[in-house]
Structure 1
Amino acid sequence: MADEQLLEGAVPPAANRHLFGHEQAEHYLAEAYRSGKGHHAILLEGAEGIGKATLAFRFANHVLHFPHPPDAPEKLIVPDHTSTITRQVIAGASHDLMHLKRPVDAKSGRLRTAITVEEVRRAGHFLTQTSGTGNWRIVVVDAADDLNRNAANAILKILEEPPKNAMFLLISHAPGRLLPTIRSRCLPLALRPLGPHDLSAALSALGIDTGGEDAGKLADLAGGSVSEALKLINYGGGEIIEAYHETLAGGDAEARAIMHRLADTLAKRDNETVLAFLLGHIDEDIKARAREAAMSGAIARAERLAVLSSEIGKDVATADAFNLDQKQLVLDLLSRVRAAVN
């Protein structure tokens, strides 16, 4: 199954045999399903890149192997790549599982900015068809945060009256962005970022050389996220973060020179992953500074930073939607952040 968003060094979630740090969630899903009292819609919440999609596909694979709940084992099975069912799930060829995600635009070849209502309608049609194997019909929504308004309303209707033997596994990096009515119809299962030991184990399972990086420091920089750690290690994310903070601390001439070097580098088409990494870091940095200001009693500064964070989020979404010049976007954002924090 091709994944346009797969990072260098990563394994597609459906094919990943390794899952670290979420033993309690695995145990809960296995026990709830085996008891026959599992929920028809489960919302896996947590930071991006911590294993939510891997857990979703692992659970889906488990259910498809054991369609009669009382026959299921007490623990989720590890995907067996020699199994026909598992191979079909990995290849995206299963007649009983649908991976609902942002589609690729036929004209540009790029991922669209949202999951559209047409995609949800396809999922609805998929769920109404009778399984040839008599198995469950499972839809993995990855990520539910990407549903546009019409798509969200369409999926809500399905959640309100789900077909028999239908199951939704919704993945959310930012649950607050979901419609409250969608959340209310799902069973939330929150996953925490990985600690240093689990993150190191996950990277080791991928064959990633951390270059002797301190496990605690790497986990802190990556926010307990495997995907963020891969960006730090394989995409030069560490150097990008260092350059960003140099633009905030340096003199005007030095800062401008660094800004232009960063913008030139990040505006290249093959650097879209690193650009997204920087934008995410900027957002987290501004929010952290806003929290720090609020805690110290500098309410006016906290409010300015909070407004800036919201404005930047809107500007980034607009630039993405209309394919605006990325170099100018980076220069503008860096200038505004520098002015706000100094």
Structure 2
Amino acid sequence: MSTPDQIEGAPHPRDNPQLFGQDAAQQAFLDAFGTGRLHHAWLLTGPRGIGKATLAWSMARFLLATPPLDDDGLFGAPPPPTTLAIDLEHPVARRIAAGAEPGLKSITRTPNPTTDRMRDQIVVDDIRSLAGFFQLSAADGGRRVVIVDAADDMNPSAANALLKMLEEPPDRATLLLISHHPSGLLPTIRSRCRTLRLNTLPPDDMARAFAQAGIDVGARTDALAELSGGSVGAAMRLSLLDGLKTYAELVALIQTLPQFDRAAALKLAEAAAARGAEVKRDLLFELIDLLLSRLARRGASGTGSTIEAAPNEAAILARLAPDQTAGRAWAQVAQETGARARHGRAVNLDPAALVLDTLIKISQTARG
């Protein structure tokens, strides 16, 4: 079973030996380390699934396995390191892989001890546990590293507890905060961290990340990169849930518009209502929203993406969104159906009826 900081079906970020497409962020950290300006807290930001956690675990391995540059030893100070990579046979790397490194602590959402269900927030006790970690690990005089994944999950009490640690950081401690939405963090937390913003991945880097994770996506890496917005995490989720097939079914459904293929729509609705289909149902609504957004952008700009994520997609989008008026109409229906879907799921409306209602609204917009 995956943990809150892991994509279902994908390796844990600590098990990824190499990070792709984030050379600038890695170099910024190496420059700070090499010049003796290593900040005590780093905020790793950017869209979900682009490698922030993989970078955090790479930074942790590096910090715990690399001697300080001011440790001259017998032969003088070593040259500044040029890579974060640490041999996976290094004792630190092996202990981290086994979850047994005493100098490292990972903070994520935890189960509620009363209900044994996973909390939806990082609570203050999770942050307060760091006090004991710092005390126990201070005796050896080595570095201590904390990874908070994700800082966005902290409730107000946890955020204030972390802020106190950032204001008075323990000696030789480095905190690595992962955030998908840094604007939601306390401004005082952001101001006490150095920010590393990571970028979305191009298709070639995404293909290498898939290969490293052992996930075979065939020849559709370009389509996965297109639909995921360059997020390898989102692309993995699409691949593992057969999202490209579902998206192709949606595109095929709108191909007949303004005539409504009710049989195809009912097939999608019934699949979404099947027992145990909650995850795929959520993905279906995300893909509907994405398709409507692509229609709106095609109408607004007059041009579409150079990458087709489904057969004949470009021609279908061009026919249904030929101009800015159509683009505005699709943007409006995207807003309306998205709000209706969120409300329907929140109050547990019948999922088949909710899907069918959404598809009928799309058909009505095409006729309009």
The answer to whether TM tops 0.5 is yes
Matched, 1:230 2:236: yes
Question: Which residue of structure 1 lines up, in the alignment, with residue 75 of structure 2?
Answer: none
Query: Equivalents in 1 of 2:137, 2:332: separation in Å?
Result: 54
Matched, 1:24 2:24: yes
Per-residue deviation, 1:171: 0.9
Contact (CA 8 Å) 1:210, 1:233: kept in 2 or not?
yes
Q: Identity over the aligned pairs, expressed in percent?
A: 35
Matched, 1:160 2:167: yes
Unaligned runs of 5+ residues in structure 2 are: 72-77, 302-323
Amino acid at match of 2:118: L
Matched, 1:257 2:266: yes
Within 5 Å, give how 1:196-275 maps onto structure 2: 196-213=203-220, 215-244=221-250, 251=260, 253-254=262-263, 257-265=266-274, 267-268=275-276, 271=277, 273-275=279-281
Structure 1 residues 299 and 218: CA distance shift in structure 2, 3 A:
closer
Superposition RMSD in Å = 3.5
Amino acid at match of 2:361: A
Structure 1 residues 79 and 66: CA distance shift in structure 2, 3 A:
closer
Q: TM-score, normalised by structure 1?
A: 0.80
Question: Which residue of structure 1 lines up, in the alignment, with residue 127 of structure 2?
Answer: 120
Summarize deviations over 1:125-150 as a string: whole Å, max 9, x none: 32344434312221111111212222
Question: Which residue of structure 2 lines up, in the alignment, with residue 328 of structure 1?
Answer: 350
Question: Which residue of structure 2 lines up, in the alignment, with residue 57 of structure 1?
Answer: 57
Query: Equivalents in 1 of 2:110, 2:36: separation in Å?
Result: 34
Structure 1 residues 227 and 87: CA distance shift in structure 2, 3 A:
same
Secondary structure of the 2:273 match is: helix
Contact (CA 8 Å) 1:100, 1:140: kept in 2 or not?
yes
Question: Which residue of structure 2 lines up, in the alignment, with residue 177 of structure 1?
Answer: 184
Summarize deviations over 1:207-259 as a string: whole Å, max 9, x none: 3322222x433321232222222223332111233345567667284465134
Contact (CA 8 Å) 1:58, 1:76: kept in 2 or not?
no
Query: Equivalents in 2 of 1:304, 1:228: separation in Å?
Result: 24
Equivalenced residues, count = 331
Unaligned runs of 5+ residues in structure 1 are: none
Amino acid at match of 1:339: K
Structure 1 residues 329 and 153: CA distance shift in structure 2, 3 A:
farther
Question: Which residue of structure 2 lines up, in the alignment, with residue 35 of structure 1?
Answer: 35
Contact (CA 8 Å) 2:289, 2:334: kept in 1 or not?
no
Summarize deviations over 1:33-64 as a string: whole Å, max 9, x none: 12221221111111222111111110111111
Greater CA drift, 82-91 or 255-264:
255-264
Structure 1 residues 70 and 114: CA distance shift in structure 2, 3 A:
same
Structure 1 residues 312 and 158: CA distance shift in structure 2, 3 A:
farther
Greater CA drift, 331-340 or 176-185:
331-340
Per-residue deviation, 1:301: 7.9
Per-residue deviation, 1:280: 4.3
Per-residue deviation, 1:260: 2.6
Within 5 Å, give how 1:293-308 maps onto structure 2: 296=324, 306=335
